[in-house]
Amino acid sequence: MKAPKLTSLIIGSVVLLGCKDYGPSNERTALQIAASNDAQTSSGNLVTGSVQITVSGERSRISFTAIRHQDGSVSGEYQLNGRDSRIHAQVLCFRVSAGGVSVGALVDQSSNPVDIGHDLLFITAVPDRISPPLIDLFDNGPIDIFGYHFPDEARAFCFGGLPVTSAGDLPLYQIENGHVELH
């Protein structure tokens, strides 16, 4: 089970390096989203980040926000901007644990059209490390694991403690610039 997931991560990373985005780059950042009224009225958890990391020699800017609302629903956005790559995703869920934050999202825009419609998973060790995104191109769900039913892999990943993917083994990169905050 780990080999296909690891292969997916490697292929996805190679594909991201070869993609070029010609679309507009004037979208809101995670910090702007977090500053919106929706985030300020949330009484649940709020996780935000705007960071810069370097993976395989490519510097990327990752911005995200994940908001747990009073009714338990989750919203937010994730965006990665690299030299030749761009990904935007809608956050579906997140889980805060002693080791950091696990976030699951659904890709809705990408410089690589193959990514669109697939689950995106990433982890962060607050406040100073973050993983690059893992986009699962093979299985979006539904998923049944040990008697638990999930509509997609992202939500299973956020549930935690279940062997959904090798994403728990994702490398964590030191944040070079910026920060991640848990409110």
Average pLDDT for runs of 10 along the chain of length 183: 44 41 42 41 70 92 94 94 94 86 92 92 86 77 77 76 53 90 86
CA 24 from centre of chain: 21
Residue 183 structure tokens: 């409110």
Distance CA 123, CA 96 (A): 10
Question: What's the pLDDT score for residue 169?
Answer: 61
Question: What's the pLDDT score for residue 135?
Answer: 84
Question: What's the pLDDT score for residue 139?
Answer: 63
Distance CA 169, CA 151 (A): 23
Question: What's the pLDDT score for residue 148?
Answer: 77
Enter the pTM of the model: 0.70
Distance CA 101, CA 128 (A): 12
* Number of compact structural domains in the chain: 1
The three-state secondary structure class of 180 is: strand
Q: Which helix (H) or strand (E) holds 173?
A: strand 173-174
Range of the domain at 84: 2-182
